[in-house]
Amino acid sequence: MSSDQKTDQPTGAFRMSYRDVAMHKVMLQDVVRTEAYERALGDVVTPGHSVLDFGCGTGILAMFAARSGARRVIAVDRSPFISTAQAIAQQNGLGHIEFYHDDDQSLLLDEKVDVIVSEWMGHCLFYEAMLEPLLAVRDRYLAEDGTMIPAEVALHAGLVCDPELLEDLAFLQGDPYGFDFTPIANAPFEQTDLVTLDPDSLLQNHAALGSLDMRTITSTDQPRVFSGTVRPEKKCEIYALCGWFSATLSPGVSFGTGPDDLPTHWDQLLFPLPEPFLVDPSRELTVTISPLTGQTGKDQLWAWSISDGSKTLQVDERQQAAQRSADPPRGKLL
């Protein structure tokens, strides 16, 4: 991730701004992410190529492109941190990289580029609103036969069957410290949470919810509801859905962010269910996850559902958030 609106990591960096060095340090320490981009750029970039790094953060991807021999490298970010990125490039003898403090609307280039690279993905892909700006830049500045890195991203969902998760979600329902928290006791069952789950917390069978071809998808046709089917391998109760993404950066270079994959800073996103849902191998399940429109950054909201054909559970995080965020009148005794 590399835009000023992005936020990550529950352990310290989840609420950090991309103005903070600590946030960039978290991402640079994500070896799975960073080395995959380095390999992809090394495979794709040739000495004749021009490369645009959109949402450049520290400029690490732009520096990889320059080290791969690109004839021209352009780094763009809306954050004031871009001045620091330029200083890093100069410190490493890469002063020829062009840095632009711009966004998708203000950026003006004098030519189209051969490669656009961007680490735009948020938690479960859509935790932040960077996809549409990236597509706008692609449509304006990618050459007709140009390459996008990543080339494709895909969304996945698993079925969480760990009773310890249910116990954690129900904490406020148990009158902690001898007090009744009924006004908020059900809230954990109605909102997403960033988690790092053990593979044993999920059933083995997962649902493929769809993919995005970054070369061809448009801002108008990108799906807002991702849906897939999965047949559970055993009869049990599940308590939540778990969402994650995988990315193919270039032919032969890919990574995933699920419980079975090597750990990354993206972790997984938990989509709790309002009540336990009994699943059975005899009934195929339909799972949907929808990033709701009109949200950005850490305020991204979601809707999700699960159905076996006879029973459906669904949650709309936007409705729940609206109910809890109504402001009381200021300066008045309630």
pLDDT digits (tens, 9 = 90+) for 19-53: 678 888 999 999 999 999 999 999 999 999 999 99
Arithmetic mean of pLDDT over the chain: 90
pLDDT tens per residue, range 46-72: 999 999 999 999 999 999 999 999 999
> What is the pLDDT confidence band of residue 153, given thresholds at 50, 70 and 90?
very high
**Least confident piece of the model among 49-58, 89-98, 125-134:** 125-134
pLDDT band at residue 91 under the 50/70/90 scheme: very high
Average pLDDT over residues 288-295: 78
Does residue 102 sit in the same domain as residue 160?
no
**Given a cut of 90, is residue 14 above it in pLDDT?**
no
Angle 77-150-42 (CA atoms, 0-180°, nearest 5)? 90
pLDDT at residue 24, as a whole number: 87
Report percent pLDDT > 90 for the chain: 78
Domain boundary among 135, 151, 167: 151
**pLDDT reading at 11 higher than 70:** no
**Six token digits for residue 151:** 């080339």
Claim to verify: residue 194 and residue 134 sit in the same structural domain = no
Calculate mean pLDDT across residues 313-328. 78
Lowest mean pLDDT among 20-29, 189-198, 219-228: 219-228
- Residues 187, 287 within the same domain: yes
Whether 301 and 177 share a structural domain: yes
Which of 38, 118, 36 has the alpha carbon at shortest distance from 74?
Answer: 118
Residue 9 in any domain: the answer is no
**CATH number of the CATH domain containing 80:** 3.40.50.150
Q: Output the pLDDT for position 325.
A: 66
126, part of any domain: yes
Give pLDDT tens digits for 236-251: 999 999 999 999 999 9
Indicate whether 143 belongs to any domain.
yes
What mean pLDDT do residues 172-187 have? 96
Question: Is the CB of residue 169 less than 8 Å from the CB of residue 193?
Answer: no
Q: How many Cβ atoms from other residues are within 10 Å of residue 327's Cβ?
A: 5
* Residues 107 and 65 placed together within one structural domain of the fold: yes
- In a shared domain, residues 159 and 64: no
CB atoms within 10 A of CB 316: 16
CB-hemisphere CA count at 13 Å for 8?
Answer: 29
Residue 299, pLDDT > 80, answer no
Last residue of a domain, one of 151, 181, 205: 151
Say yes or no to pLDDT of 7 above 60: no
Residue range 276-302: mean pLDDT, rounded:
84
Asked if residue 231 and residue 119 are part of one domain, the reply reads no
Domain holding 204, by residue range, is 153-324
The pLDDT score that the predictor gives to residue 224 is: 78
The span from the CA of 334 to the CA of 330, in Å, is 9
pLDDT of residue 71: 97
Residue 18 reports pLDDT greater than 80:
no
Q: What was the pLDDT predicted at 300?
A: 78
Determine the Cα angle at 78 with ends 2 and 58, to 5°.
40
Tell me which amino acid residue 298 is.
K
Structure-block tokens of residue 278:
């009994």
Domain match, 219 and 295 both = yes
* Strands 207-213, 152-160: pairing kind: antiparallel
With 0.75 as the threshold, say if the pTM is over it: yes
Same domain for 25 and 147? Answer: yes
Q: How far is CA 82 from CA 51, 57, 60, 170, in A?
A: 17, 7, 11, 44
**Segment 205-231 mean pLDDT:** 89
Q: Is the residue at 100 inside a domain?
A: yes
